Amino acid sequence: MSRSGIGRRQLLAGLAGATAGIALTGNAAPLAAREVTRWDETTDVLVAGSGSAACSAAIEARLAGAEVLLIESLPRFGGSSAMSGGVVYAGGGTSLQRAAGFEDTAEDMYRFIAGNSGGHPQLDKIQRYCEESVEHFDWLVAQGVPYNNRFTDVKELTLGDESLYFSGNELAWPARERSRPAPRGHVPGLPGMTGGRSLMEALLARTGSLGVTQRASTSARRLIVESDGRVAGLQVAAGDALYNIRARRGVVLACGGFIHNRDMVQRHAPALFDCSAPWGNAGDLGEGIAMGVAVGAETLRMHQGFAITPIYPPESTLAGIVVNAAGQRFIGEDAYYGVLGDAIAYHQQGKAWLITDAASNFGFHQDNFVAVAEAATIGDLAVRAGFPQGALQHTIAYYNRFAAAGRDPLFHKQSKYLAPLAQPPFTAWDLSVKRAFFTAHTFGGLHTDTDSRVLDSRGEWIRGLYAAGRTVAGLPVAPYIASGLSVGDCTFFGRRAGVAAAGSGGVSA
């Protein structure tokens, strides 16, 4: 029985509680520097947020010699990164991959990400990320993030204490034909889903030991802008008071996405709005994005996000089939659950069903999914679940015919998950975004370049302004193809924001 299987709804209940009482009280409109009568404080680099993007920026800026102030709107540091699995998607031959006996190249990693990230992804960011991934993983190790050299082939966020696994869609078709698969999920090596906490404990400790000033319960409210458009600082709120903080070299917005700003989600990402389990730290209210937009920043991919429904573990369920309202399969069921969730939420109008037989059933009690029908024959199941006349029978007849031979002509599911659905009882599980356990997190945000500089709609840098993490439209897109791309993007481009801001003019391209 899986710990993961039973804990998710409780986790959700906890999140809902955490967001209660948070209201949008800010005003994102920029403040003209000439209207600032008093600077309450001055620093070189001001970082808004305290997740993995913010801390990575702060560390690099400090290492580059800048005085750094980091502010967090909530009482506790860590952001959504601390709640996450803490996976960093890394490859190209990291020390951990090599220690575990895997070969990988930056090219294969690039082909995997670029070739499976929807149409026209940001290739410059993907290229930079892959080329420097080995170095980036070494950097995480150097910051004190605890990894070990053990690999697991379990298809799920590691529940043991291994640090390396296949965290994404690498082995699913057609991804496995586009690039040589390698395990690239790098996760702190501690038992249970505590990777995010471990990651952030290390990064926050490092931030503190380097002399970054950290201030909680302090929220960014308005960017302060010079008459020539340059960002000069930030007006922040702490308690009932407002303070004007000058940032000599730059402001880094790394204060999360907007999944908990429900109006904003409904307006921009309706497919995510309908998902049952908004996922993210309570501070994910879109404030960083709003402040950027207010000074003319362009946003990208605001409708996108991850929509994840964890039909595994156990892997046995992957021998079931997933069908749409027409009773048709539309995906190989061994897809990474972010890819499966995307297909349902964005391309099947939020509705799907998992059909299992006795062999592919969950095998333990779980409360993530509701069984809408159970029957001794496929025909009875189809009628009870309400599929169009004859459709499910037709689908399963075709599927079973080839599955018996270890083949899946439609979606090429890996043969180890292929077996005819033949052992009653047969069950139809509701995978709809509203009724199943379906987590959602936003990916849309400010448009930045590979130096994490915030761009306007002409592609011009808004001077003095940097951003990273889910405040930004980064590597994670819909479909979300691997765990670790989001925190990986946060840490990688967070670092670049810190370097660029400390240099006060952007690092070289």
- Chain residues binding a second copy by CB under 8 A are 27-30, 32, 118-120, 227, 229, 264, 266-268, 270-271, 273-274, 286, 289-290, 293-303, 326-330, 346-347, 350, 388-391, 394, 398, 401-402, 409-411, 447, 456-458, 460
- DSSP class per residue in 23-62: ------S-EEGGG----SEEEEEEEE--SHHHHHHHHHHH
Which among 479, 486, 436, 473 has a CA at the least distance from the CA of 169? 479
Residue type (1 letter), 233: G
Q: What is the DSSP string of 336-405?
A: -HHHHHHHHHHHSTT--EEEE-TTTS-SS--SSSEEEEEESSHHHHHHHHTPPTTHHHHHHHHHHHHHTT
What phi and psi, each to the nearest 5 degrees, are found at residue 500?
A: -65, -40
Strand partners, 231: 225
Instruction: Quote the tokens at residue 353.
Output: 């069903």
φ and ψ at residue 128, rounded to 5 degrees:
-60, -45
CB closer to a second copy out of 180 and 394? 394
Of the two residues 247 and 297, which places its CB atom closer to a second copy in the complex? 297
Helix (H, G, I), strand (E, B) or coil at 496: helix
> From the CB of 279, what's the least distance to a second copy, in Å?
19
Longest dimension (CA), the chain: 77
Q: Supply the DSSP symbol for 111.
A: H
Among the listed residues 372, 370, 312, 368, the one whose alpha carbon sits nearest the alpha carbon of residue 340: 312
Hey, how many other C-beta atoms are within 10 angstroms of the C-beta on 99? 15
Look up tokens 């308005």; give the residue. Answer: 222
Nearer to a second copy, 9 or 111 (CB): 111
83 versus 295: smaller Cβ distance to a second copy: 295
Our CB check for a second copy shows the closer of 87 and 291 to be 291
The Cα–Cα gap between 101 and 106 comes to 16
Cβ 331 to a second copy shortest distance, Å: 10
Q: Which is nearer to a second copy, 445 or 506 (CB)?
A: 445
| Min dist. Cβ of residue 471 to a second copy (A) | 13
Q: Which is nearer to a second copy, 9 or 351 (CB)?
A: 351
Q: Identify which of residues 64 and 223 has a Cβ nearer to a second copy in the complex.
A: 223
> Shortest distance, CB of residue 391 to a second copy, whole angstroms?
6
User: Is the CB of 227 or the CB of 508 nearer to a second copy?
Assistant: 227
- Estimate the crossing angle of helix 195-209 against helix 485-503, to 10 degrees: 10
Cβ of residue 301: shortest distance to a second copy, in angstroms? 7
Q: Is the Cβ of residue 12 or residue 325 nearer to a second copy in the bound state?
A: 325
CB of 410 to a second copy, least distance (A): 5
Decide whether 55 or 382 has the Cβ nearer to a second copy.
382
* Minimum distance, C-beta of residue 442 to a second copy, in the bound complex (Å): 14
Task: For the CB of residue 394, give the shortest distance to a second copy in the complex, in Å.
Answer: 5
> In the bound complex, what is the minimum distance in angstroms from residue 29's beta carbon to a second copy?
7
CB within 8 A of 459, min separation 6: which ones? none
Neighbour count for residue 29 (Cβ, 10 Å): 12
Name the minimum Å distance from CB 347 to a second copy: 5
Structure-token match 């149409």, residue found:
119
Q: Could you tell me if 151 and 100 are in contact, meaning their C-beta atoms sit under 8 angstroms apart? A: yes
Q: Which residues contact 505 (CB under 8 A, 6 or more apart)?
A: none
